[in-house]
Amino acid sequence: MQLTTLTIREAHELLTTKKISSVELTQAMLQRIREIDPKIKSYVTVSEELALEQARKADERIAKGENVTPLTGIPFSMKDCISTRGVRTTCSSKILENYVPQYNATVTNKLAEAGAVLLGKTNMDEFGMGSSCENSAFFNTHNPWDLDRVPGGSSGGSAAAMSAGLATFTIGEDTGGSVRMPAGFCNVTGIKPTYGRVSRYGLIALVSSFDSIGPMSRDAYDCATVLEHIAGHDPHDSTTYNSPVPNYTKHINKPVQGMKLGIPKEYFVAGMEAGVESALQEAIRQFEKLGMEIHEVSLPHTKYGLPVYYLLLFAEASANLARMDGTRFGLSVSENAKDVIDIYLKTRHEGFGDEVKRRIMLGAYALSAGYYDAYYLKAQKVRTLLRRDFESAFSKVDLLLAPTCPTTAFKLGEKTSDPLEMYLSDIYVVATNPAGVPALALPAGFSNNMPVGMQLIGKHLDEQTLFQVAHAYQQVTDWHKQFPNI
């Protein structure tokens, strides 16, 4: 029995029937991390002691049959931008290299309460700024399907860990595709929930109005299981929805016949890799076979999604990262500092990588006197148009289908010299975040032996439909069951 590739519900079954213990499962994961991760480099920190302690407690819970949830005893990893009390949380940045939070993110607390077992924290593009995981200040993460290729970003470590069997599920964070794009590159299922569905308290902010924490897992069912446990109103996050969290898994088997699937024509244009295009076309036929109606729709402002996304990111990130100033936590470069401004200048110069520097400077530019109207405000107005695009499409269809990236995973180093070209790889995933709508990424096949990802985009708070449709698709396909040979 291969413990490291189990789904959550397979593992849950084994745990609750006492065929395995959480400690065994956790040990197996830790062992595989020791063996495989030196090649993949998906973990920044492995919290072995904590994991084993949590696993023991989970086993006690299961033994007593008390308060056992579908996540009790299940080992998971978490993107390194979500605060874990006592466990280093770095955002893959030098500036937070030795930062150990004094408090837990709400998501961390919720998973701990459910009895899940934290294996460690996964690599990412520094502060979530990147699409390939190459902007980590520590090391590159490799795509388990081809070690010369990137896992995607920014939750690249999470996706790679999932794909390589180094966690049973993982928690990613999606600001503009950061869950979906690497999920597509690594052949895993992941969801960016509706903005405000999952608390951001304790998530080290990149773009406060886009950031969405979401799970990645082996299939849609597992995603639904995890989301049920981490979603919901949080009195510490004023932007969370107050509405109750549906029991996604309970209704996941509902039929999808007659549902209307929209194909946004702006997403199927020249520039897409042939293998990606044919995988998507094949998927559309599959949805049709499942009894869904296929409709072409238009999201006319799609091409403006990228500049809107990046301009607002620059602006908000420039403020969000201001607190990394070398005075209360994290790196502090104080040698020969004459006054406190020297600490700021030196700490931030040494602590931030080039991409972070670029973005916060451009953010200051887009917000500064004289440019605010032309850049920040203009982007906020076009953002309204992007939202309206989705609203109008959802007045005609129940959900949308789109690729997660025009290509499969590209080679390490291929795009690092040109920041703009790297930004363009996000073209299909960025528009959802300014609009706040949920989107689920799932495997759609292969092109030249590399995974192809697709995403289902839904109405605000309608994760249920995404789970249902993805689950129906995964009942009749087995792309998501393919594992890389490592």
Partner 1 sequence: MSTTIDTKTVKHVAFLVRLGISEGEAQKFSGQFSSIIDYFNMLNEVDTENVPPASDIANAENVLREDAVQPSMSREEFLKNAPQSERGYVKVPTVLGDE
Partner 2 sequence: MKPTYEPVIGLEIHAELITNSKMFCGCSADYASAPEPNTNICPVCTGLPGAMPVANKKAIELAALVGLALNCSVNKHNTFARKNYYYPDLPKGYQISQYELPICEKGWLDIDSGSSSGAASATYRDPSRVRIRRVHIEEDTAKLFHEKNYALVDFNRAGVPLLEIVSEPDMRSVEAALDYATKVRAILRYLGVNSGNMEKGVLRFEANISVRPFGSDEFRTRTEIKNLNSFRALTRASAYEIERQIKIYESGGTVVQETLGWDDVRGVTTSQRSKEEAHDYRYFPEPDLPPLQLSDSWIAEIKSRLPELPEAKTKRFVEQYELKPQDARLLTSEKALADYFESVVSKSKSSPKTVHSWIAGEFMRYLNDSGKDVDDVTLSPESFAKLIDMVTDKTVSGNNAKVVLAELIESGGDPQEIVKEKGLAQVSDESFIQEVVTKILNDNPAEVEKYLAGKETLLQWFVGQVARATKGKADPNVTKELALKALAERKK
Confirm or reject binding of residue 419 to partner 1 (CB under 8 A).
yes
Confirm or reject binding of residue 2 to partner 1 (CB under 8 A).
no
Selected from 285, 357, 411, 481, the binder of partner 1 by CB under 8 A is 357
- Furthest C-alpha separation in the chain: 70
Selected from 98, 327, 384, 475, the binder of partner 2 by CB under 8 A is 327
Q: Closest distance between partner 1 and the C-beta of residue 403, in Å?
A: 21
Confirm or reject binding of residue 325 to partner 1 (CB under 8 A).
yes
The residue behind tokens 């996000």 is 426
Angle CA 219–407–425, to nearest 5 = 100
Active site annotation includes 199: no
| Distance of alpha carbon 19 from the chain centroid | 32
Determine the straight-line distance between the first and last CA of the chain, rounded to whole angstroms.
17
- Contacts with partner 1 by CB under 8 A: the residue count is 68
Beta bridge partners of 192: 439
CB nearer partner 2, residue 111 or residue 321? 321
Confirm or reject binding of residue 332 to partner 1 (CB under 8 A).
yes
Buried/exposed code over 26-38 (b: 16+ C-beta within 10 A; e: otherwise): bbbbbebbeebbe
CB nearer partner 1, residue 164 or residue 315? 315
CB nearer partner 2, residue 319 or residue 385? 319
Confirm or reject binding of residue 344 to partner 2 (CB under 8 A).
yes
Which does residue 337 bind out of partner 1, partner 2, none, counting CB within 5 to 8 angstroms by kind? partner 1
What lies within 8 Å, CB to CB, of 183 at 6+ separation is 152, 159, 172, 189, 190, 216, 404, 441, 442, 453
Q: Closest distance between partner 2 and the C-beta of residue 456, in Å?
A: 26
Beta bridge partners of 173: 213
Which does residue 201 bind out of partner 1, partner 2, none, counting CB within 5 to 8 angstroms by kind? partner 2
Confirm or reject binding of residue 473 to partner 2 (CB under 8 A).
no
Phi and psi at 413, nearest 5°, equal 85, -10
Give which of 419, 319, 322 is closest to 376, Cα–Cα. Answer: 319
Q: Closest distance between partner 2 and the C-beta of residue 112, in Å?
A: 16
Active site annotation includes 178: yes
Confirm or reject binding of residue 325 to partner 2 (CB under 8 A).
yes
Instruction: Single out the catalytic residue among 79, 94, 110, 192.
Output: 79
- Kindly indicate which of the ranges 56-64, 199-207, 238-246, 475-483 contains the residues binding partner 1, using the contact rule CB under 8 A: 238-246
Confirm or reject binding of residue 361 to partner 2 (CB under 8 A).
no
Active site annotation includes 332: no
Give the gyration radius of the chain's Cα atoms: 21
Quick note: the x/- pattern for partner 2 over 187-216, rule CB under 8 A, is: -------------xxxxxx-xxx-------
| Distance of alpha carbon 230 from the chain centroid | 14
Instruction: Render 86-107 in DSSP notation, one character per residue.
Output: TB---TT-GGGTT---SS--HH
CA dist., res. 90 & res. 423, Å (int): 23
Give which of 172, 181, 250 is closest to 212, Cα–Cα. Answer: 172
Confirm or reject binding of residue 154 to partner 2 (CB under 8 A).
no
CA dist., res. 185 & res. 443, Å (int): 9
Which does residue 420 bind out of partner 1, partner 2, none, counting CB within 5 to 8 angstroms by kind? partner 1
Instruction: Single out the catalytic residue among 21, 131, 158, 178.
Output: 178
Angle CA 456–193–353, to nearest 5 = 100
Whether the Cβ atoms of residue 343 and residue 325 lie closer than 8 Å to each other: yes
Which does residue 338 bind out of partner 1, partner 2, none, counting CB within 5 to 8 angstroms by kind? partner 1
Residues of this chain that interact with partner 1 (CB under 8 A) are 99-100, 102-103, 195-196, 209, 235, 238-242, 301, 303-304, 307-308, 310-311, 318, 321-322, 325-330, 332, 334, 337-346, 348-349, 352, 357-358, 360-365, 368, 375, 377-385, 387, 419-420, 423, 434
Active site residues: 79, 154, 178
